Amino acid sequence: MTGTARSEVFARIRHASRASGTARVEEELLALGSAPSAALPCQDLGTAFLVNVLNNMGTVDCAIDRSGAVAAVAKYLYEQHRTHRLVASNDPRLAAMPWRDAGVLPRFGALESGEQVSMSYARLGIAEIGAIVTFTGKANPAANNLLADNHVVLVDAADLVADMEAAWGKINAMMAQDGRPRGINFIAGPSSTADIEGKLVQGAHGPRQWHVILLAEDTEDRLGQARALHSPP
């Protein structure tokens, strides 16, 4: 057998092996099927989202519009931190909010040393796991999402999805239209870790408090239902 013939034989063997391997993997994936989504605590996406945020040791509030959201932020800042100041991402949606109406004094930009409260506007909220999705970049520095002691997040009810599969579908559509962001953050609660004895510590690697405000109609009903359905650990 010549060198050329031998090479052709080996090439056909390699090709058949790769094809067989690919087909086998595809068969195994089909056999596994799709993973079932977690059962939501209720049918309403907004309420289910709030329940799971509470389950993730976050705190929640609702507002019917942006004026109400500003009032909710002001209430949280004063009651929890005795301040009216925060650092906000350079998101046009945040810049357009009527902050002065509630006496809130935002500084727009990246979190700096000594600043305790940061604020972001989520791109998505995921009801299945009580998480929010943010895109990081110049308009929304990652530090604002991950390094402040207290992270406040606004989420539009229109941006809620049921599960991770739906979230990735939306994310891929956003990236196809607007390009890839610098980073994608999935955030589901304050920073939590446990030491060797199993003692839970919050804030060791990120925010100690995580406060989520949902912009939606029927705010009182949703808040009441979410708190009733929430099961504290």
Is residue 139 a contact partner of residue 89, using CB atoms and an 8 Å limit? yes
Cα distances (angstroms) measured from residue 107 to each of 52, 85, 210: 30, 8, 19
CB-CB neighbours of 27 under 10 Å: 10
Q: Which residues pair with 232 in a beta bridge?
A: none
Is residue 153 a contact partner of residue 122, using CB atoms and an 8 Å limit? yes
**What is the pLDDT of the chain when averaged over all its residues?**
85
| Band of residue 191 on the pLDDT scale cut at 50, 70, 90 | low
Residue matched to tokens 């009903």:
221
pLDDT digits 0-9 by tens, 9-43: 666 656 655 555 667 767 776 766 666 667 888 88
Q: What's the mean pLDDT in 86-93?
A: 92
Q: What's the mean pLDDT in 56-64?
A: 93
Residue 44, both tokens: 């309403």
Element (H, E) at 119: strand 117-121
Q: How many residues does the chain have?
A: 233
> Residue 114: its pLDDT value, please?
87
Q: Which residues pair with 175 in a beta bridge?
A: none
> Residue 219: its pLDDT value, please?
72
Task: Classify domain 45-229 at the CATH superfamily level.
Answer: NagB/RpiA/CoA transferase-like (3.40.50.10420)
> Residue 194: its pLDDT value, please?
63
Residue 91 is given by DSSP the state: -
Of 6-10, 119-123, 224-228, the one with minimum mean pLDDT is: 6-10
Q: At what angle do helices 219-229 and 45-55 cross, to 10 degrees?
A: 50
pLDDT digits 0-9 by tens, 106-121: 999 999 988 999 999 9
End-to-end CA distance of the chain: 73
pLDDT digits 0-9 by tens, 122-177: 999 999 999 999 999 888 889 998 888 999 999 999 999 999 999 999 999 999 99
Is residue 62 a contact partner of residue 216, using CB atoms and an 8 Å limit? yes
Given a cut of 80, whether residue 6 has pLDDT beyond it is no
Per-domain boundaries in the chain: 1-33, 45-229
What percentage of the chain reaches a pLDDT higher than 90?
57
Residue 58, both tokens: 């976050």
Pairing of strands 105-108, 85-88: parallel
Higher-pLDDT residue of 205 and 126 is 126
